[in-house]
């Protein structure tokens, strides 16, 4: 029988062989390079900086406010007084208005003119109720005004506070010469200034609530307010809830309060607690003037420093990614070399029949 070769294949598809030094070096180097690349890409050194930021709150808003104090007047009397014998005088009175607000600066204006032709002289007095009674009784008295032997009178006098204002003013015409009976037209008005309601003499503009600002510091509120004609005004900066407390006459707190200024330039430091998602600030103007309306222009902005992070090495993340990619390729290559060995043929000595055995490993 003719000798033959008999092949016996043994497949070790996944057999780890760590005896080859080159394979080991490639595998370990790939792992190291991959780890270093990942570390470099993720934990690259960085610089922390702060950059200025700003947001406009009010841009040239014009607020129009009425006069804080207004002049008001009311007629006291408008009457003809005829003096007849035997009384020798004639009187009338006018009640002063009831006051319940903030009033001051009372002025009583009186005009008295004799109506005869030719005019007859007369004596003229202005009293409160108490002193009129004293004058009638022939006792010592004190008049607001007293003039004798006149054919006409034009006067005004002041009473500063409403606490000193009588409930009525008395006007007396008396004959100056016996038997000469004057006829006098008396016209009198009381005027004063009174505080306008805050809703009439004030106005405000409020900024919208702010977007939550994270990782920021050094908040500042900058801006200005100017009256168009250079008139004086009161200026307040406060939060929205405090504005309504102020308007209602309740206790309130302010960020800024300035009185009797014709312009205001402000630069206010704010705390982190004051600035948040619900932060809405009111810019309030109040007119303190009498009988003068005003227009105030307001600009305001919120400024702060915002945290920024910048890589120290500009291409740090790119370099790390490249290193990780090369390391990954080397690692995979090393695993492939270790896992898949080439098959080797091994010849065994011929048997008694002359057959040669070949083992493929």
Bond before 161 cis per omega within 30 degrees = no
Q: How confident is the model at residue 360 (pLDDT cuts 50, 70, 90)?
A: very low
Domain co-membership, 144 together with 186? yes
Same domain assignment for residues 189 and 76: yes
The answer to which of 67-76, 206-215, 280-289, 330-339 has the lowest mean pLDDT is 330-339
CATH number at residue 89: 2.60.120.680
Number of structural domains (the chain) is 3
Helix axes 316-339, 21-42, angle to 10 degrees: 150
- Point out the domain boundary residue: 172, 195, 218: 195
User: Coil, strand, or helix at residue 98?
Assistant: coil
State the pLDDT confidence band at 262, using cuts at 50, 70 and 90: very high
**Predicted confidence band at 47 (pLDDT cuts at 50, 70, 90)?**
low
Whether residue 104 lies inside any domain: the answer is yes
When pLDDT is cut at 50, 70 and 90, the band that residue 275 belongs to is: confident
- 73 in the same domain as 33: no
Residue 265 within a domain: yes
pLDDT for res 27: 62
Tokens linked to 200: 């009439």
Give yes or no: residues 75 and 179 share one domain: yes
pTM of the model: 0.63
Greater confidence, 106 or 356?
106
Same domain assignment for residues 204 and 304: yes
Q: Are residues 60 and 208 in the same domain?
A: yes
From residue 66, alpha-carbon distances to 198, 200, 234 in Å are: 10, 6, 13
**Based on the domain organization, do 132 and 190 belong to the same domain?**
yes
- What pLDDT shows up at residue 353? 59
Domain for residue 306, yes or no? yes
Return the CA Rg of the chain: 51
pLDDT above 90: residue 107 = yes
**Domain carrying residue 19:** 15-41+314-342
Co-location of 95 and 115 in the same domain: yes
CB atoms within 10 A of CB 123: 20
């Amino acid at each position: 029988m003719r000798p033959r070769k008999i092949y016996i294949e043994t497949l070790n598809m996944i057999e780890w062989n760590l005896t080859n030094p080159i394979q080991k070096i490639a595998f370990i180097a790939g792992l190291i390079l991959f780890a270093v690349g990942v570390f470099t890409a993720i934990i690259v050194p960085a610089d922390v900086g702060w950059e200025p930021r700003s947001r406009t709150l009010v841009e040239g808003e014009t607020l129009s406010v009425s006069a804080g104090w207004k002049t008001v007047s009311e007629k006291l009397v408008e009457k003809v007084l005829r003096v007849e014998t035997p009384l020798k005088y004639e009187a009338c009175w006018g009640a002063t208005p009831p006051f319940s607000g903030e009033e001051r600066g009372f002025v009583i204006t009186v005009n008295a003119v004799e109506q005869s032709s030719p005019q007859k002289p007369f004596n003229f007095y202005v009293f409160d109720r108490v002193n009129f009674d004293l004058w009638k009784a022939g006792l010592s008295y004190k008049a607001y005004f007293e003039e004798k032997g006149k054919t006409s009178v034009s006067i005004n006098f002041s009473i500063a506070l409403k606490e000193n204002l009588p409930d009525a003013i008395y006007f007396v015409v008396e004959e100056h010469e016996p038997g000469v009976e004057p006829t006098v037209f008396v016209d009198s008005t009381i005027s004063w200034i009174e505080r306008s309601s805050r809703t009439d003499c004030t106005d405000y503009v409020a900024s919208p609530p702010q977007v939550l600002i994270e990782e920021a510091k050094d908040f500042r509120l900058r801006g200005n307010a100017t009256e168009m004609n250079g008139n004086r005004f009161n200026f307040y900066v406060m939060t929205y809830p405090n504005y309504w407390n102020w308007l209602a006459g309740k206790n309130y707190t302010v960020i800024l309060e300035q009185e009797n200024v014709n312009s205001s330039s402000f630069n206010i430091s704010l705390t982190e607690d004051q600035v948040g998602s619900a932060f809405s600030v009111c810019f309030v103007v109040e007119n303190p003037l009498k009988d003068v309306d005003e227009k105030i222009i307001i600009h305001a902005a919120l400024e702060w420093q915002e945290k920024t992070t910048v890589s120290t090495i500009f291409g740090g993340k790119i370099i790390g990614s490249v290193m990780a990619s090369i390391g990954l390729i080397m690692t995979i290559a090393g695993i492939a070399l270790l896992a898949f060995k080439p098959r080797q043929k091994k010849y065994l000595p011929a048997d008694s029949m002359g057959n040669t055995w070949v083992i493929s490993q």
